[in-house]
Amino acid sequence: MYDSLGLGPYLPLILLSAVLGPCAIALLHWTTTSASIPVINKYSGDFFLKKAHAEFLANCKKLISDGIAKYNGPFRVMTTLGSRVILPARFADWVKNCKDLDHVQLVADEYFAHYPGFDGNGVVVHPSRMMITVTKTKLNQNWQVETFQQHISELLEDEWSTNDGNWRPVPWGQDAARYIGRMSSAVFVGAELARDAQWQRLILSYTINLFNGVRALRTWPRFTRKFIHWFLPECRTCRKQLAFARQLLQPVLNKRRQAIDEAINAKQSPPIFDDTIAYIEEIAAGRPFDPAATQLAFAISAMHTTTELLKQTLVDICLHPELIYPLRDEAKAAIEQYGWTTAGMFQMQLMDSVIKESQRMKPGSLVNLERKALKDVTLPDGSLLPEGTNVAVDTANMWNPDIYKDPAVYDGYRFYNARKAGGSASNAAQLVSVNSDFIAFGLGPSVCPGRFMVANEVKAALATILMQYDVRLPQGIRPQIIYYGFEMLSDPTTVIEVKRRTD
């Protein structure tokens, strides 16, 4: 089979890599550019990093706090995706301003942005920054808020409603992903594809498959990856999904082209389409771009991240039912005054605070500000990060008692009160604000441009749910945050109970 693909000359290399692969992984881990930086999960006799990886997956929070306590400077964690240098939280502002520590390069290199099938990442890191411009300039509009509300209402009506006045259990751990998938797609690709089950399955699974591809590729020595990716099943899946995205998107593009051509031929003004398919074309202004890869880029950036925030916030609201009435009243008043608009969402300041508090306690990752050193970098404490080192900053400021009073206590009013108090802390208390004490959306040149859309989408979803439904957790159930490597995940098995409100 390999010969029919013209791989004859590479066969010895492939076989060698297969045999030596595991040894090479271990060797690569210990011989990275950052080898002089101490490792926190290093154990005697653990040549193949079995114990290091197990500790990383199960006890990463402790590894990081141990590393900070022991070194009070940079240290390494051996992750299942390679060696990562962790910097203490006090370096966040410094990292933000350091031009030689780059987010884009890290994504490009470590997430294989230039490999076929990984094209979604390729779009995010493309020097034209077209997708980022669209996100920054177009994804905070009134019609989008209304669209979010319409789509989640439709889903809730189909899936949560009963007329018998009884409570019913719903699989919130899974529903949240589908709801965000649908609401976001309505804005990214329009209502038709948003309602398409195949499109939904594709955009929700692509990110997972992409990470599987990254993981699979990273287990191979660097010098083999350029051709081994053609054969790894995980990478093949990504390529197939890109092809499928093209197949599903093309009829929509054709229909639009035809409608525009017909209008022009009839000397009428062409129809205007309001979604990212149209926005990217406008921003591109004739420059080439790949519409399907762009949609996969939106999917990677937006779907799972926003799902996690929505999922956890509703769980936290159920855990603190005293918040439900004030949130509902606030939402009703805001909608009465401003409708489902960005102004209406801005008006929901308690909701903003509750979402931000959920994000503070479960930011999605134990580390953030992932960067690659473009050249040798000397940190303010004198430590050296050699060129090519991948770093990330400890998220621990979000739980620091010197910054947040009683940080382990969930306080839905925490940011609301800070905002009402006025002064310099007031702006920082908004969900979309970022600073070194709150880095869940990143910081600096690569700060998340999608956070305004996130705020509108999550508020529209929660306001709709709370205004239409009573919600609670089943008796005696308290969903726990799941720690998996660097990730902090909302429990995917969470069930909540809902009852349609009649008033």
Distance CA 179, CA 173 (A): 11
| Site membership for ligand HEM, residue 463 (CB under 6 A) | no
Q: Within positions 183 to 222, which residues make up the interface with ligand HEM, using CB under 6 A? A: none
DSSP character string of 276-314 = HHHHHHHHHTT----HHHHHHHHHHHHHHHHHHHHHHHH
- Among the listed residues 305, 342, 395, 430, the single contact to ligand HEM using CB under 6 A: 305
Region 104-143 residues binding ligand HEM, contact defined as CB under 6 A: 104, 124, 131-132, 135, 139
Contact residue for ligand HEM among 56, 179, 298, 416 (CB under 6 A): 298
Sign of the CA dihedral running 287, 143, 350, 462 = negative
Q: How far is CA 493 from the centre of its chain?
A: 20
Distance CA 248, CA 199 (A): 7
Could you say whether residue 248 binds ligand HEM (CB under 6 A)? no
403 binds ligand HEM (CB under 6 A): no
Residue 54 in contact with ligand HEM, rule: CB under 6 A: no
Nearer to ligand HEM, 202 or 431 (CB): 431
The reply to whether 369 sits near ligand HEM by the rule CB under 6 A is yes
The secondary structure of 108-150 as a DSSP string is: HHHTTTTSTT-HHHHHHH-TT-HHHHHHHHHS--HHHHHHHHH
Report the nearest approach of ligand HEM to the CB of residue 141 (Å). Answer: 13
235 is in an annotated binding site: no
Residue from 83, 368, 468, 494 in contact with ligand HEM (CB under 6 A): 368
Pattern 437-456, ligand HEM, x by CB under 6 A: ---xxxxx-xxxxx--xx--
Size of the site for ligand HEM (CB under 6 A): 29
Nearest to 188 by CA among 199, 198, 175: 199
CB of 375 to ligand HEM, least distance (A): 19
- Cβ-in-10-Å burial (0-12, 13-18, 19+) of 439 comes to buried
Calpha distance 270→101 (Å, rounded): 45
Distance of closest approach, residue 451 Cβ to ligand HEM, in angstroms: 6
| Consecutive H or E run containing 462 | helix 451-468
As a residue count, the chain comes to 503
Known binding residues for heme are 448
Summarize as ranges the residues that interact with ligand HEM (CB under 6 A).
103-104, 124, 131-132, 135, 139, 298, 301-302, 305-306, 309, 364, 368-370, 440-444, 446-450, 453-454
Known binding residues are 448
